[in-house]
Amino acid sequence: MDTGDTAPAFTLDDETGTPRSLDELLENGPVVLFFYPQAMTPGCTAEACHFRDLAADFEAAGATPVGISNDTVDRQAAFAAKHSFGYPLLSDPEGKIAEAFDVRRKLGIIATKRKTFVIGEGRVILGAFKSELNMNAHADKALELLKNR
């Protein structure tokens, strides 16, 4: 999946166990969907907290950050409670959505690649960013794209 592609429709439970569909999330404006490998790990915590810290900027751009990993609902709930993210964390325990977005790893301990998609009306991908090492790059690049469109 890359810029210009149409993101697949999906519904996953968030950290509260509430089903959330991509189409429903898009009703409020663009969605910044960021895939992360595992809740509660240092890199993923830094990345998710950076999205949280830029919440006002994303709101001003009319966009909603949404995190997604293969963690269970309970683990996502603990992660959200510990860091007060204020945006949905979706649980993809079987990795089906990660696979649909082509961010599922074929081999290795870490099942999901770190990649972010800015998704607009009609589920069109407006931009895609990846960085395994720069935890701020995802939110910063997504915000830059939103401000410049």
Q: Catalytic one among 22, 44, 80, 89?
A: 44
Can 44 be counted among the known catalytic residues? yes
Q: Is the pTM of this model over 0.85?
A: yes
C-alpha–C-alpha distance, residues 70 and 2, integer Å: 21
pLDDT in tens, the chain (149 residues): 889 999 999 999 999 999 999 999 999 999 999 999 999 999 999 999 999 999 999 999 999 999 999 999 999 999 999 999 999 999 999 999 999 999 987 766 677 889 999 999 999 999 999 888 888 999 999 999 999 98
Long-range contacts of 53-56 (CB under 8 A, 24+ apart): 54/139, 54/140, 54/143, 55/86, 55/87
